[in-house]
Structure 1
Amino acid sequence: MPAVDVVVVGAGIVGLATARAVLRAAPGTSVLVLEAEARWAAHQSGHNSNVIHSGLYYAPGSHKARMARAGAERMIRFCAEHAVPVRRTGKLVVATSPAQLPRLDALVARGTANGVTVRRISQAELAEREPHVRAVAAAHVAETAVTDYARVCAALVAEITELGGAVRTSAPVHRIDITDTEVVLGLPQGRERAGALVNCAGLHSDRVARLSGIRPPVRIVPFRGEYAALRPHRSALVRGPVYPVPDPDLPFLGIHLTPLLDGTVHIGPNAVPAFARHGYRWRDVEPRLLAELARDPAVRGLARRYWRYGLAEFARSAIWPLFVRDVRAMLPDVRGADLVRHGSGVRAQAVDDSGRLVDDFVITRARRAVHVLNAPSPAATASLVIGERVASDVLDELRRS
């Protein structure tokens, strides 16, 4: 007899939102969240720009577009109801060269198709909103907000506990056996038995899927995003979030400027391949991961397709003046002395069998299991909605059994 009905592997924001959604949708269901680290939100959920996105960037009809639009207001309401700080800021998307103008116009059209309040603004309005930002054109997005996702996770943990669930940290899963009657998980502390499994392991989601006996349709390649911050006496250079026009061939938004709730102006991230799943520094190396990636033909295809972009990102990571140069494309008053390094995050980037970067959410079902295999930005924005979708799937698996 399983000890709990549902076990969730991973106490990031999506895993916690899923546990909450199960408990709310089916009161009386027993739920256990297992987290390998000593705290929740230890990786992607605690190392990001803390922006609540509007749904501007995503292809109309995609999972990202639908979930971001539905999730943004839900997240803002959740923050208000749980005393988590949140501020509606809006944001600017700026074109820094004439070559980017068609992409800016396409972005405005895409956002409008998604129901986002977005419009091109004049140079006079740009100067009024952000007097230190320089661009040949800009668009204003009304719905963007800023919060603190680590505090959102803390609020989710508190609600899960109130609803009768449990969150256990320092509990890495090293074995999974799925039978006709239960899921058995091996941990250093012993075994846990559950009726169904939810894999929200983020950087380890493909490994957890393989442990459960399936071949995932994607593999995770970690990308490190390195951040800088304006020194406090220069923070007035930026009033609200400012983003570049993104490259449509890449699932990254580019270096952006984000004033956080504490007054810090976050700048970044870049995107360089990391050498470990927790590769927050250059010296963090995981030989097993590198061997896996080197043997994988899809990853070799990825390298062939994006090597020029990768070299540019490596150069910007290693050579500080190149990073400063790209910041100055939007914020020309900045000098290298105005910036300090401000930590990094590691993104779990899914790559498909053809070697292409996967840009949309990937959620798959198997016997007694639901696997969240790709949850890139705007996953934090949309986490409450994603959690409800995954909760519906796992409860269906429980009913089938």
Structure 2
Amino acid sequence: MAGTGFYIHWLRSSIKYQRSVLSTHRLAKSFTTRKLSSTKNGACYDIVVVGGGIVGMATARELQIRYPNFKLAVLEKERELGVHQSGHNSGVIHAGIYYKPGSLKARLCVEGMHLAYKFLDEKCIPYKKCGKLIVATNELEIGRLMDLYERAKQNNCPDIELIEGKDIKKHEPHCEGVKALWSPHTGIVDWGRVTQEYGKDLKEKGGAIHNSFQVDNFQEETGATSNNDYPIRVTGNENKFVRAKYVLTCGGLHSDRLAQKGGCSKDPRIIPFRGEYLLLSPEKCHLIKGNIYPVPDPRFPFLGVHFTPRMDGSVWLGPNAILAFKREGYRWRDIDFSDLLDALKYPGFQKLAFKYAVFGMGEMIRSAFIGLQLKELRKYIPHISAKDIKRGPSGVRAQAVASDGTLVDDFVFDSGGKGLLSKRVLHCRNAPSPGATSSLSIAKMIADKMTKQMDL
């Protein structure tokens, strides 16, 4: 986020390469989509949900449960569900410690955690309730830790404990710190698999899922070809379309663009931030039992580097936070100039980049030279050396940013448009972290909102 000059210079030097591969990429994508498409054109649905991520699938499932006689379909542009944010996250089941007491995020996270564990047990989906330590390493961090402890108690986070430094090793034998919060109900799971299970559950209850359906527009049908019972036409790639009574969009990284297609404002804009993880060597994974997090620094917008065990036994270290050059750009070489220019030209991003210029430049440097992250890691686990870390996976976070440069930290819903589009189409423009943990409680909230707003 260290200003825009570097990006623009780099952009000009790379544009020839992008143009040379663009036509080939489009041809391959077109062939794959055409091969996999199975949508019956003109099919009519009571509710259409656009977006097959974890929030969209959880909400579609909740709506199908509430309205079993409705014909419902999910439209997902990828070949599988949960391909992006839902399948590229840390896999943590959060307990709701960080969020402002009384806030919607706090309530939905705690409720969502309980609902998630219940669902995982019912569906026999493997998970580990391995717990989490938030560790203070100096006196300054102790004050912030105490604030978190008070938040956790007010948020009704179950069984949160404040422990002294000598007791840290009871939970994490190799971790150093002066004081910590222990959250025994924090866990880990494969959220991508959970998203797939939501889809399976939806289909068993009568819902439909159309993959490789990239939505291009929403229209109110009029004239002789209109269907008054299903007046919203949802069009997609390769001339595909369905008709709907009501539409919900949960587009994640493309949520702002879907809202614009429905006649809504451009703001807030989605800015993609890539979070890159390091992998701990298998020989050192035994040093980590559960999640180990730093005390967050309120000066910066992200939580900082932490240790995250995974269901496969590996341990992820990170993530950082840098601007992605593509909304689904998981590597430095993943570039979409339209996405990049869209971010760089947005006044909200420019103000954000200026505010966090030093932090952003530091993140970019640490991304290029991973050894620079070792100092932070060794504050908690001193036995880690440079040979024990290597580059790992990454994810892209859909961060909503307002035009004044503030990070949008709350849910944003929009109807916009004119005529029936303003009454029958609801856009979920921002479902902030922890969206996966909260997915089932978010689904109930959105279903409530649609029931009231659309008089279902």
Q: Distance in 2 between matches of 1:273 and 1:307?
A: 12
- Residue 276 of structure 2 aligns to which amino acid in structure 1? E
Matched, 1:362 2:412: yes
Conservation of the 8 A alpha-carbon contact between 1:360 and 1:376: yes
The match for 2:20 is none
The match for 1:69 is 110
> Residue 83 of structure 1 is aligned with which of 87, 105, 124?
124
SS of the equivalent of 1:88 reads coil
The match for 2:344 is 294
Q: Distance in 1 between matches of 2:299 and 2:165?
A: 28
> Residue 439 of structure 2 is aligned with which of 369, 374, 383?
383
Matched, 1:183 2:232: yes
> Residue 230 of structure 1 is aligned with which of 267, 276, 280?
280
TM alignment of 1:84-233, pairs within 5 A? 84-116=125-157, 117-178=159-220, 182-189=231-238, 190-233=240-283
SS of the equivalent of 2:356 reads helix
Conservation of the 8 A alpha-carbon contact between 1:171 and 1:188: yes
1:223-281, CA deviations, whole angstroms, 9 ceiling, x for partnerless residues?
00011121111111111111111122444222111111221112111111111101101
Q: Distance in 1 between matches of 2:176 and 2:303?
A: 18
- Residue 280 of structure 2 aligns to which amino acid in structure 1? L
Q: Distance in 2 between matches of 1:88 and 1:216?
A: 41
Residue range with higher mean Cα deviation, 311-320 or 95-104: 95-104
- Residue 46 of structure 2 aligns to which amino acid in structure 1? D
Q: Residues 136 and 354 (structure 1 numbering): CA distance in 2 closer, same or farther, change over 3 Å? A: same
Conservation of the 8 A alpha-carbon contact between 2:46 and 2:70: yes
SS of the equivalent of 1:203 reads helix
Conservation of the 8 A alpha-carbon contact between 1:196 and 1:394: no
Conservation of the 8 A alpha-carbon contact between 2:130 and 2:289: no
Q: Distance in 1 between matches of 2:300 and 2:321?
A: 10
Residue range with higher mean Cα deviation, 277-286 or 356-365: 356-365
**Displacement of 1:387 after TM fit?**
0.9
- Residue 234 of structure 1 aligns to which amino acid in structure 2? K
**Displacement of 1:397 after TM fit?**
4.3
- Residue 211 of structure 2 aligns to which amino acid in structure 1? T
Conservation of the 8 A alpha-carbon contact between 2:346 and 2:403: no
Conservation of the 8 A alpha-carbon contact between 2:264 and 2:414: no
> Residue 65 of structure 2 is aligned with which of 3, 9, 24?
24
**Displacement of 1:298 after TM fit?**
1.5
**Displacement of 1:367 after TM fit?**
2.3
TM alignment of 1:279-358, pairs within 5 A? 279-358=329-408
**Displacement of 1:74 after TM fit?**
0.3
- Residue 19 of structure 1 aligns to which amino acid in structure 2? A
**Displacement of 1:395 after TM fit?**
3.4
**Displacement of 1:103 after TM fit?**
0.9
Matched, 1:258 2:311: no
1:73-129, CA deviations, whole angstroms, 9 ceiling, x for partnerless residues?
100010110111122122100112322121111111111111123222122211222
**Displacement of 1:179 after TM fit?**
5.8
Residue range with higher mean Cα deviation, 247-256 or 19-28: 247-256
RMSD value, Cα: 1.7
**Displacement of 1:2 after TM fit?**
7.4
Conservation of the 8 A alpha-carbon contact between 1:44 and 1:346: yes
1:207-237, CA deviations, whole angstroms, 9 ceiling, x for partnerless residues?
0000111115411000000111211111111
Conservation of the 8 A alpha-carbon contact between 1:361 and 1:374: yes
**Displacement of 1:309 after TM fit?**
1.2
Q: Distance in 1 between matches of 2:362 and 2:431?
A: 25
Q: Distance in 1 between matches of 2:266 and 2:177?
A: 43
Tell me the number of residue pairs that the alignment of Structure 1 and Structure 2 aligns.
400
Q: Distance in 1 between matches of 2:101 and 2:406?
A: 20
**Displacement of 1:145 after TM fit?**
1.4
The match for 1:399 is 455
- Residue 145 of structure 2 aligns to which amino acid in structure 1? L
Q: Compare CA radii of gyration and give the structure with the larger one.
A: 2
Q: Distance in 1 between matches of 2:332 and 2:186?
A: 32
SS of the equivalent of 2:215 reads coil
More strand by share: 1
Residue range with higher mean Cα deviation, 65-74 or 299-308: 299-308
Query: TM-score, normalised to structure 1's length?
Result: 0.96
1:151-184, CA deviations, whole angstroms, 9 ceiling, x for partnerless residues?
1112111110011101111111112224696221
Q: Distance in 2 between matches of 1:373 and 1:331?
A: 39
Q: Distance in 1 between matches of 2:112 and 2:143?
A: 29
Percentage of identical aligned residues: 41
SS of the equivalent of 2:400 reads strand
Conservation of the 8 A alpha-carbon contact between 2:172 and 2:289: yes
SS of the equivalent of 1:317 reads helix
**Displacement of 1:191 after TM fit?**
1.3
SS of the equivalent of 1:263 reads coil
Conservation of the 8 A alpha-carbon contact between 1:250 and 1:357: no
**Displacement of 1:131 after TM fit?**
1.8
**Displacement of 1:285 after TM fit?**
1.4
**Displacement of 1:360 after TM fit?**
2.3
Query: TM-score, normalised to structure 2's length?
Result: 0.84
Conservation of the 8 A alpha-carbon contact between 1:39 and 1:169: yes
Conservation of the 8 A alpha-carbon contact between 2:165 and 2:176: no
1:273-297, CA deviations, whole angstroms, 9 ceiling, x for partnerless residues?
1111011011111111222223221
SS of the equivalent of 2:381 reads coil
Q: Distance in 1 between matches of 2:299 and 2:267?
A: 21
- Residue 297 of structure 2 aligns to which amino acid in structure 1? D
Q: Which runs of 5+ in 2 are unaligned?
A: 1-41, 223-227, 416-421
SS of the equivalent of 1:87 reads coil
